[in-house]
Amino acid sequence: MTRTKRTHVVPACLQSNWGDNVWVYDKLRDKKFENNVQNTMVNKHFYKPSVETKLAEIEGMCNPIIKKILKTKTLIGLTQEDYLILSAYIHAQFSRTYMMRKGIKDMSDQIEEHIIGMGLDPKQVSNFNPLTDNEVKEMSYDFLFNPQVAFSIWPNKKWILLEAPDDYSFWIGDNPVVWSNSVDMGPYGNLGLAVFGVELYMPLSPKYSLLLMCPLHYQQIVKSIKGTPDLKKLIKQNRFDFRFNKKIVKEANLHLKQLSEADRRLKRFKKKIDKGK
C-alpha cells in the first residue's frame, strides 16, 4: 500500500464548499493568501495510512448527506442513519485536529510540572511517564475512532441548521468544529462535549452551518421565548435565521438502543469504525 505523505487536517471536499480556491488567513504569521483546497490545511504524515483510509471512508459516506442538506436547505427528511453518519463525521472533524493532540500533550506536561513542583523526579514516580509524540498520536486515534463517543454524545444534541444573513458568511478554519458556552460555571470551566449549555458549530458552506446544542439548554431557551410577541425580531437581533428541524425538536433524545434499528449499511459502517480503534 502506498504511504500517504500529505494528508488534510480538514477534508478538501468540505473546504471546496467555499470554492476550489480559498482565501487563507494565517493568524500566526498574520498573512493572507489564495490557495487551492488540495493544498490547504494539509500536513506531511499527520496520520498513519490506516487512519487516513478510515477517515476517507467516513467522508465518502457523509458527503452525499451534506450535499443534500445544502441543496434542500433543511434537516427535515434526514434519516436516523444519516444523523449517525453525520455524528461520526463531526466527531472525526472535532478529533483529528492539531488542537486535540496539543490538548493531550498539555495535560501530560501539566502533570509533569505538578510533580516537579512537589519536589519529585517524574522519572521516579510510578505509573507516570511523560507522553511521547507517538503516544500522543495513538491516544488521539483512540478518541477519534471511539464509537461510544461518536454514537452516544453527538446524536443526543439538538440539531439546528443555521443560515447566515445576506451580508455575512460562515468561515471554516483548521478547527472545523468550534464550541462555546454562555453558561458561567465559575472556576470549573464550561467547555466539554457533555457539559450543560455547550454549543458546537460546524460550518458546511459560507451560507449554512450546523449547530448542535445541549438538549437541556435548548429546552430552556424554547420555554423562554414562548409567547414572545415578535419572534422574527428576536431572531434578527441574534443575527441568525434559525431553521428548526421539527422532526428533531419532537424527539427528546436519540438513545443507543436505536442503533439496532439501523439497516445493514450502518452495521457495516460501525464495524469499520471499530476496526480503526
* Chain segment 13-51, per-residue pLDDT in tens: 888 888 888 788 888 888 888 888 777 776 677 778 888
User: For residue 3, what pLDDT is reported?
Assistant: 47
**21-34 burial string, b = 16+ CB within 10 Å, else e?**
ebebeeeeeeeeee
Residue type, 203: P
Residue 119 has pLDDT above 80, yes or no: yes
Residues 117 and 56 in one domain: yes
Residue-wise pLDDT tens digits, 65-93: 999 999 999 999 999 999 999 999 999 99
Residues 92 and 115 in one domain: yes
Most confident of 45-49, 66-70, 95-99, 243-247: 66-70
Residues 120 and 73 in one domain: yes
Residues 237 and 185 in one domain: yes
Residues 58 and 15 in one domain: no
**121-157 burial string, b = 16+ CB within 10 Å, else e?**
eeeeeeeeeebeeeebbebbbebbbbbebbbbbbbbb
User: For residue 276, what pLDDT is reported?
Assistant: 54
- Name the DSSP class of 168: -
Domain assignment present for residue 264? The answer is no
Q: What percent of the chain has pLDDT over 90?
A: 30
Domain assignment present for residue 37? The answer is yes
Residues 41 and 55 in one domain: no
Residues 114 and 178 in one domain: no
Residues 64 and 146 in one domain: yes
Domain assignment present for residue 251? The answer is no
Domain assignment present for residue 277? The answer is no
Domain assignment present for residue 207? The answer is yes
Least confident of 107-116, 156-165, 169-178, 258-267: 258-267
Q: How far apart (Å, rounded) are the C-alpha atoms in residues 98 and 47?
A: 11
Residues 109 and 197 in one domain: no
Residue of higher predicted confidence among 131 and 5: 131
Average pLDDT over the chain, rounded to whole?
Answer: 79
Residue of higher predicted confidence among 106 and 237: 106
Q: Which of 150, 179, 211 is the last residue of a domain?
A: 150
Q: Which one, of 3, 179, 181, 20, lies nearest residue 93 by Cα?
A: 179
Residues 55 and 36 in one domain: no
Residues 52 and 146 in one domain: yes
User: For residue 230, what pLDDT is reported?
Assistant: 58
Residue of higher predicted confidence among 86 and 11: 86
Residue of higher predicted confidence among 215 and 9: 215
Burial, 158: exposed, middle or buried (Cβ in 10 Å; 0-12, 13-18, 19+)?
buried
Determine the structural domain holding residue 9 and report its residue range.
1-46
Q: How far apart (Å, rounded) are the C-alpha atoms in residues 28 and 56?
A: 29
- Name the DSSP class of 76: T
User: For residue 268, what pLDDT is reported?
Assistant: 57
Domain assignment present for residue 257? The answer is no
Residues 97 and 175 in one domain: no
The mean pLDDT value for 146-171 works out to 90
User: Model-level pTM?
Assistant: 0.73
User: For residue 38, what pLDDT is reported?
Assistant: 78
Residue 115 has pLDDT above 80, yes or no: yes
Q: Which of 112, 133, 150 is the last residue of a domain?
A: 150
Q: Which one, of 92, 72, 86, 77, lies nearest residue 8 by Cα?
A: 92
Total domains in the fold of the chain: 3
Domain assignment present for residue 268? The answer is no
Domain assignment present for residue 67? The answer is yes
User: For residue 255, what pLDDT is reported?
Assistant: 34
